Structure 1
Amino acid sequence: MTTVRDKNIDEEAASLRAAMVRELRDLEAITADSVAGAVAAVPRHLFAVGEPLKAAYAANQALVIKRDEDGTALSSLSATHIQAVMLEQAGIEPGMRVLEVGSGGYNAALIAELVGKEGASISVDIDAEIVERARKCLDAAGYEQVQVVRADAVAGVPELAPFDRIIVTAGAWDIPSAWLDQLSERGRIVVPLRMRGLTRSIAFDRAGGGSEEELVSDSYRLCGFVPMQGAGAYTERLIHVTDGLALRVDDQKQDFDTDALAAAVRSARLEVWSGAAFDLPDELELFLATNTPEMVMLHGSKDLVDQGLLALSVTRGVPALVSGGSFAYRTKRANEETGGFESGVLAHGPDAEQVAARYAELLRRWASDHQRRGAARISYRPMPAGTAEPSQGVVAKRLGAVAFSWS
């Protein structure tokens, strides 16, 4: 009886897996046959213990593996969609040595399929419980060759280096020097990097394709991950302005006049419409958030929206330009002349006209010069700890700086 039930489960899982691969191809998350083959081969449901098969094979569904006492997710089985995207970014070839930062087991199994018998799939995690779970799932699925290491990933795994690829499956605020040291000369790091409240999966190569420390990329994708733990953990500042309104800030040194901003929220707001089309919001937000160090993420409650004080965009977080006791943020309205929607600015405070004008100019520049996928070129420059300074197009990190240029 058990054998028949297991066989039926395996058959249903295989059918769902094949359907998931087709869906991911239709979404262009998978374009390489090698990645399609890996996703088709690995029994994802064996890594989603206790979950229904349909949940295990839902292309865009992440599954939480572990939460803390407050219910915050500490570890998750990422959606297959973003895992496939990152594997495509990585460009893994047979025979490579690949380090995965953040263990769940499933992604390490996909990597094992891609590197083949001559390659190596190594997964590292700081949490003993997660390491043990990953090991059991990998063994149950037939991937005993995958090495699972318990360690703080900030130090990498020096005893098993060098690595041709390092794939980070936890939200990282910086790129530890150990990852650079353990990367092979023509290696690649794929990392979900957090920058001014936004996260993008960025595929970094060494500048010039050699041993230089600087990393460069023109491959980045929208993503979201459980944050790193251990020495690589970082908590962004959440600055309370008034009930239901806060600013999320990278720069620990940045000062704000919260009393003046709280008063500005309840002042008359200024509307400025840019005449520019609203499109590709994830690309636009990256442009806005990284273009000036005065841009922060504004988070507002639905209650403030219902009161007519703020627009709906604040409920999901929106890049806001803050200057003294004034601020401006993005909104949109229907406008057939701009192709469906038009970008606009809402501003509050004594200098509302000035901050709105600056923000609107950024919207127009984006629409006229950069409104397409992949317009950013991103570089990461290692620097002595604490020396990086934010500036136009530069996001400062503890161990370096992320620089953006737009074509």
Structure 2
Amino acid sequence: MTSLNGGEHVIRAANTTGDFERAARLRDELVDTLRSRGKIVSPAVEKAFRTVARETFVPPGTPLEEVYAVDRAVVTKTDEHGRSLSSVSATYIQARMIEMADIHPGMAVLEIGSGGYNAALLAEIVGPDGYVVSIDIDSEIVERAGALLSRTGYGGRVSVVHADAEYPVPGFGPFDRTLVTVGAWDIPPAWLDQLVADGVLVVPLRMNGITRTIAFRRDGDHLTSSDAEVAGFVPIQGQGAHTERTFLLPDPNGARLWLQFDSGAPEEIRLLDGVLATESVSVWSGVTIGKGISFADLHLWLAAFLPGFCRISADPGTDLAAKLGKTWFPLGGVVGGSFAYLAVRPAMDDTGVEFGATAHGGRAAAIALVEQIQAWDRTGRHRSPSFGFWPAGSTVPKLPEPSAVLHKRHGAVSISWLPASQNTPIIRPRRVGGVN
């Protein structure tokens, strides 16, 4: 598992240990918390989380309080620059993904992105009549996961395979459920070809730089979401990798901003040369939000509808970086020679903040961003987005407004904000048996 974003706080191995009884107590406390927050709802998932010792799958010396935190991922491998390549994901998203998959005893489950702990949880749920295949493109991760699963008694119940997930898993399948535990930009044909007709695919899908972990079920010639969760994961490697385009904007004071485009980068990016030397201007929307209330769906709305949408980062140690999450958020857009980022200021009644945009190079990008904030407030704010995936060869029909369609290599993703009465998940009959 390699989940890192979406509210998770990454921690690294430390040098303290705890005894078995303390670990068991913390494990039970964690499960109680996950149940109270609605992340665990079924007895089978609860039993698996109470049974599998998470501390045996993290680096030795990791403090038990961090191992059994709700929202922390434990890094298990980094690259030469210290960036995480693999981790044991935060427990809340592991529980949610397994619940979203609706797994039952006797099922065959494919896990894309290995680590050991999540595969052990899956093995507990499918039981002796089911089986789990866990694949990863990194041979070192595969070796480590296989050794840990064998050491903890799951070696005979989980097959760990070194493979690129872009292609079918040789010698296995079809699968009743597929859980993807790395961030995917697309859904390759192999994932659908090796999934049974009434199967479920749970995947953290990146849509113009914003990720939602989505449970998909087949609906005729396409997939329809049945559940979704805010969470992000490190990007998939191999043939399914997608490289963002990143542009550097230096300013006269030596600070730098980085603009990252998942797709649709402006062709005339040179129009932004020197833009940070221009005076900034802010435009305010009149749209407010209370303190402590998530506005993650606004991020998704902007990714779907804002022209020139990009993610923005600032050099550490700069004034702008110090204000991140306080006066601005790292999302914005580019219009010609103008760029703007999402800004906030205290609301007039001091109960929250007002959304706006701060721009350089003129007001055009700020106005475009504010227009989308207002559109979200009118038609998307009180609706939950639903998602569809339309494989290459299928036709995306005219969708009810507001909807957006994002094109991928292997198909297209639709995002629709519909009234609750029109946004009913497609639920297929449960399949209790084993492999076809």
State the TM-score, normalizing by the size of structure 2: 0.82
The separation in 1 between residues aligned to 2:272 and 2:265, in whole angstroms, is: 18
**Aligned residue number for residue 374 of structure 2:** 364
Bigger drift between 294-303 and 93-102 goes to 294-303
Counterpart amino acid of residue 297 in structure 1: R
Q: Is the 8 A contact 1:101 1:170 kept in 2?
A: yes
Residues 224-268 of structure 1, C-alpha deviation per residue, up to 9 Å, x if partnerless?
22222221222211111225112111226642333x324332322
Aligned to 2:198: 186
Residue of structure 1 in register with 2:432 after alignment:
none
* Corresponding position of 1:251: 263
Output the CA distance in 1 between the equivalents of 2:310 and 2:371.
17
The code of the aligned residue for 1:197 comes to: G
In 2, the alpha carbon distance for the partners of 1:313 and 1:185 equals: 44
Q: Structure 1 residues 249, 224: closer, same or farther in 2, change over 3 A?
A: same
**AA partner of residue 41 (structure 1):** T
Shift of 1:318: 2.4
Q: Residue in 2 aligned with 1:222?
A: 230
Partner of 1:232: 240
1:265–1:300 CA distance, 2 compared to 1 (3 A): same
Distance 1:237 1:58, change over 3 A: same
Picking from 161, 170, 180, the partner of 2:173 is: 161
Tell me the SS of whatever aligns to 2:182: coil
Write out per-residue CA displacement over residues 97-152 of structure 1, whole angstroms, 9 at most, x where no aligned residue. Answer: 11000111100111111112221111111222211211121122221311111111
Structure 2 residues not aligned, in runs of 5+? 1-17, 394-402, 419-436
Question: Matches of residues 2-151 of structure 1 in structure 2 within 5 Å?
Answer: 9-50=19-60, 51-144=62-155, 145-151=157-163
Change (3 A) 1:256 1:27: farther
Cross-structure match for 2:387: 378
Amino acid paired to 1:120: Y
Contact 2:266 2:334 in 1 (8 A): no
- Rounded to whole Å, the distance in 2 between the matches of 1:396 and 1:297 is 19
Distance 2:302 2:264 in 1: 20
Q: Equivalent residue of 1:171, what SS?
A: coil
Question: d(CA) in 1 for partners of 2:204 and 2:88?
Answer: 15
Question: Given the superposition, is the C-alpha separation of residues 338 and 403 from structure 1 closer, same or farther in structure 2, using an over 3 Å criterion?
Answer: farther
1:3 is aligned to none
Residue in structure 2 matched with residue 399 of structure 1 by the alignment: 410
Q: Is the 8 A contact 2:287 2:377 kept in 1?
A: yes
The answer to which of 277-286 and 109-118 deviates more is 277-286
Deviation at 1:403, TM superposition (A): 1.4
CA 1:330/1:315 → structure 2, altered by over 3 Å: closer, same or farther? Answer: closer
* Conservation of the 8 A alpha-carbon contact between 2:331 and 2:342: yes
Q: Indicate which of 280, 285, 288 corresponds to 1:277.
A: 288
Distance of aligned partners of 1:316 and 1:87 in 2 relative to their CA distance in 1, 3 Å threshold: farther
Correspondence for 1:241: 249
User: What is the CA-CA distance between 1:196 and the residue it aligns to?
Assistant: 2.1
Q: How many residues align?
A: 384
Number of the residue aligned with 2:335 = 323
Tell me, what secondary structure is at the counterpart of 2:38? Answer: coil
Higher RCO, 1 vs 2 (CA within 8 Å, ≥6 residues apart): 2
Displacement, 1:181?
0.6
Measure, in 2, the Cα distance between the counterparts of 1:109 and 1:251.
37
Instruction: Return 5+ residue gaps in structure 1 as ranges.
Output: 1-7, 385-391
In the alignment, the residues of structure 1 paired with residue 178 and residue 21 of structure 2 have an alpha-carbon distance, to the nearest angstrom, of: 34
SS in 2 for 1:245: strand
> Could you state the TM-score of these two structures normalised by the residue count of structure 1?
0.87
- Give the equivalent residue in structure 2 for 1:389: none
- Tell me which protein shows more helix as a share of its residues: 1
- Identify the residue that residue 335 of structure 1 maps to in structure 2: 347
Runs of at least 4 residues off by over 6 Å: none
Secondary structure of residue in 2 paired with 1:155: coil
Contact persistence 1:167–1:189 (CA under 8 A): yes
Residue type at the aligned position of 2:28: A
Contact between 2:329 and 2:341, CA under 8 Å: does it hold in 1? no
1:300 and 1:315 in contact (8 A); partners too: no
Question: 2:273 & 2:50 partners in 1: Cα distance?
Answer: 53
- Does the 8 A contact of 1:277 with 1:367 survive in 2? no
1:176-224, Cα deviation, whole Å (9 max, x unpaired): 110011111011111111222222211111124xxx3x11115222212
Question: What pairs up with 1:192-207 in 2 under 5 angstroms?
Answer: 192-207=204-219
Quote the sequence identity (%): 43
Give the whole-Å Cα distance in 1 for the aligned partners of 2:80 and 2:269: 34
- What is the CA–CA distance in structure 2 between the aligned matches of 1:266 and 1:204, rounded to whole Å? 46
The residue type equivalent to 2:229 in the other structure is R
